[in-house]
Amino acid sequence: MQINKLEQMFSVLSNKKKKRLVVAFANDAHTIDAVSKAIDRGLVEATLVGDRDIITKVCTEENIDVNKFRIVDVDIDTKAASKAVELINNNEGDFLMKGLVSTENYMKAILNKDNGLMPPKAILSHVTIMENANYHKLLIVGDVAVIPAPEIKEKIAIINYLIKTAKALNIDKPKVAVIAASEQVSMKMQSSIDAAILSKMGDRKQFGNAIVEGPLALDLAIDAESAKIKKIDNEVVGDADCLLFPNIESGNVFYKTNTKLAKTEVGAIVAGAKVPCILSSRGDSVNTKLYSIALGALIAG
């Protein structure tokens, strides 16, 4: 069954073996609450790396049974991030989550050349799944947070991550729209040239069982009526599963317009490391963190 709603991830995961989540510096109520809910739903087993006294205090205040977690007591954020990565490398966890540690220190632990989680020549990218009430299914988008100005090599990696995520959502043949300012190929815009190349690679099955189409303006990718008016007809227009944005500005604006104005629910991971890594903001809601945990568990296999 194709997953078209974020909540549907929970029922799919309930029939799978539980994945082991490791949380780096899990000292905040939002993170602990989200992980607790994931455990209650039978999605994961969890190890919280952080200050044991603070974690216990938060659990007491939130009426959460602290015994449902394995706790590794580390009271400094940088050391907690490194310890969480070490647990993953020691096969004591299947995916990683950011707690109260800063993004910079979390990423440093992942990117550490000696003890991190990076395969050789790997490219990290942020992948988001969105449930917008005005679209008929989930949207899988990238990159909105990690790669500022992806070149063609990085765009290839991002497309592969989008497709892998779509497959984890049981989408057999993902439809990828390579977004640009216009559907007309323009030699004056690098994003347009890249999109044409990526589309041709898709035609030649270099992305496997997926359809890659571009350049496409955003309206064509998600609105069948716009495609009809412009007389553009292919398998992706109006029905895209995945959106590849040309740069972080366009992707980030799309993300924040959806979450802030349209109140879109999301889940997100960073792909490209040895395991999925959840890079949730300290200000993210419990629901966003819970959906991100579910997404990480699905992609962890």
- Same domain for 39 and 16: yes
The bridge status of strand 44-50 relative to strand 70-73 is parallel
If one counts the domains in the chain, the total is: 2
- Same domain for 150 and 61: no
Check residue 95 and give left, alpha or beta (phi > 0: left; psi -120 to 50: alpha): beta
- Same domain for 75 and 134: no
d(Cα 214, Cα 217) in Å, to the nearest integer? Answer: 8
Question: What mean pLDDT do residues 62-79 have?
Answer: 96
Residue 268 within a domain: no
Residue 3 within a domain: no
CATH of the domain at 69: 3.40.50.10950
Place of tokens 């942020």: 126
Predicted confidence (pLDDT) per residue in 85-122, tens digit: 999 999 999 999 999 999 999 999 999 999 999 999 99
- Same domain for 197 and 252: yes
- Same domain for 132 and 79: no
Give the list of residues 6+ apart from residue 283 with CB closer than 8 angstroms, or none: none
Give the model's pLDDT for residue 280: 81
Residue 246 within a domain: yes
Give the model's pLDDT for residue 37: 95
What pLDDT band is residue 285 in, cutting at 50, 70 and 90?
confident
- Same domain for 202 and 77: no
Residue 1 within a domain: no
- Same domain for 97 and 185: no
What would the two tokens of residue 136 be?
């008929």
Q: Is-contact 139 243, C-beta < 8 A?
A: yes
Residue 28 within a domain: yes
CATH of the domain at 140: 3.40.718.10
Give the chain's mean pLDDT: 94
- Same domain for 252 and 165: yes
Predicted confidence (pLDDT) per residue in 2-16, tens digit: 999 999 999 999 888
- Same domain for 158 and 74: no
Residue 94 within a domain: yes
Rg for the chain, CA atoms, rounded: 20
Place of tokens 């082991």: 20
d(Cα 35, Cα 293) in Å, to the nearest integer? Answer: 8
Domain that holds residue 134: 125-261
The secondary element (H helix, E strand) that includes residue 142 is: strand 139-142
List the Cα angle 81/95/286 in 5-degree steps. Answer: 80
Residue 267 within a domain: no
pTM recorded for the entire structure: 0.93
- Same domain for 242 and 134: yes
Give the model's pLDDT for residue 282: 65
Say whether pLDDT at 274 is over 70: yes
d(Cα 21, Cα 201) in Å, to the nearest integer? Answer: 36
Q: How much of the chain exceeds pLDDT 90, in percent?
A: 91
Question: What mean pLDDT do residues 29-52 have?
Answer: 95
List the Cα angle 196/197/198 in 5-degree steps. Answer: 95
What is the phi/psi pair of residue 126, to 5°?
-90, 130
- Same domain for 175 and 149: yes
Predicted confidence (pLDDT) per residue in 167-212, tens digit: 999 999 999 999 999 898 989 999 999 999 999 999 999 999 999 9
- Same domain for 238 and 151: yes
The bridge status of strand 125-131 relative to strand 139-142 is antiparallel
Predicted confidence (pLDDT) per residue in 209-225, tens digit: 999 999 999 999 999 99
What pLDDT band is residue 301 in, cutting at 50, 70 and 90?
confident
Residue 226 within a domain: yes
